[in-house]
Amino acid sequence: MSNTKLIDWNSWLELTKFKLSFAVALSPVAGYFMYGQIETAELMGVFVGTLFLALGVAALNQYQERHSDSRMERTSDRPIPAGIISEGKALRGVFFLLIVGSLILWWLTTPLTLFLGWLNVVWYNAIYTPLKRKSAFAAIPGGVCGALPPMMGWTAAGGDVLHPKIIILALFFFVWQIPHFWLILLKFGEQYSKAGLPSITDIWDARQLKSITFIWMLATGVSALLLPAFNLVQVLVLKILLVMVTLTYVYYAYKSLYASAKKVNYFLAFMAINLFLIGVMLLLVIQQFWK
């Protein structure tokens, strides 16, 4: 009986992409800290509320893509196509997660934060997910899903959603999201094609794909350097550290794509781009405690 429960629990973690959803929930924390005023209830509210929404979004996405997932080796063992979690049970889980996340954001943050959270839900599940079936370039509008969570943190702290500082931070998250998506397509493009989904691998050859992906990864580094340029990073030591982190990221981005003429080091590329995002968020948080 205990083994059955463990397997079922692990399946729900897989259905909701818990690790990715947890990372998504950290981005509003960066936006919140950047505003500079810290209230524990608001901070925990935007983090936990965003986490529940992200879990619901991920589960709904897997429900929407259950048929194409069953045709790809990378995703055929996901809980729904594998028959571990039924479609009805998955939908009930989606509604529970979205409702709980919405209530938390409503009680502990602001109506605008809740609106941005639901805008992200609609954008990801009603715009980006269907667009993936029609266009190989869906990742570009899909980048909006990365830009909205830091705005949620900023507005939860009381900030204006149109303030230049949060716009610049949202731009960084937007640009970061695109090469993150494209690295997945670069690695699994053939499986997407076999599943009947459009892929950039059908449009460009491997050499072109590496060059374009590197340009987007480089653009992510440049967008990070806009943070001190617009006074989002104010401490000189942290500005120097940001430059060093950015240069290190660009080096490993180049190395992962071009160290071998025939093979891309996907593990190194993903490590570089994900650790870079974490590093930038940490710098924004550390700045608020800098004396």
Q: Dump pLDDT digits (tens) for 145-185.
A: 999 999 999 999 999 999 999 999 999 999 999 898 888 77
Amino acid 291: pLDDT: 57
Residue 158 Rama label (left phi>0; alpha psi -120 to 50; beta)? left
Segment 15-40 shows an average pLDDT of: 90
Q: How confident is the model at residue 234 (pLDDT cuts 50, 70, 90)?
A: confident
Give the CA distances from residue 144 to residues 24, 121, 124, 169, 207, in Å, rounded to whole numbers and listed in that order: 13, 11, 9, 12, 27
Token reading at 249: 């990221």
Q: Where are the extended beta strands (E) located within the chain?
A: none
pLDDT value at position 204? 78
Asked if residues 157 and 169 have their Cβ atoms less than 8 Å apart, the reply is no
Provide the pLDDT for residue 263.
81
Q: What is the pLDDT of residues 267-288, one digit of tens each?
A: 899 999 999 999 999 998 888 8
CA atoms within 13 A on the CB side of 149: 31
Query: Contact at 8 Å (CB) between 213 and 182?
Result: yes
Please answer whether residues 145 and 128 qualify as being in contact, where contact means their C-beta atoms are separated by less than 8 angstroms. Answer: yes
Q: What average pLDDT does the structure give for the chain?
A: 89
**Ranges 17-31, 148-162, 204-218: which has the least confidence:** 204-218
**What was the pLDDT predicted at 9?**
79
Whose CA is closest to 232, among 273, 284, 181? 284
Say whether pLDDT at 5 is over 80. no
Alpha-carbon radius of gyration of the chain: 19
Instruction: Copy the structure tokens of residue 254.
Output: 């180049």
Say what the pTM is: 0.89
Residue where the block lists tokens 């259950």: 66
Q: What are the tens digits of pLDDT across the range 96-124?
A: 999 999 999 999 999 999 999 999 999 99
Better pLDDT: 62 or 68: 62
Residue-wise pLDDT tens digits, 215-228: 999 999 999 999 99
- Topology of the domain covering 2-288: Farnesyl Diphosphate Synthase (1.10.600)
Dist. CA 229–CA 222, nearest whole Å = 11
For residue 63, give the amino acid letter: Y
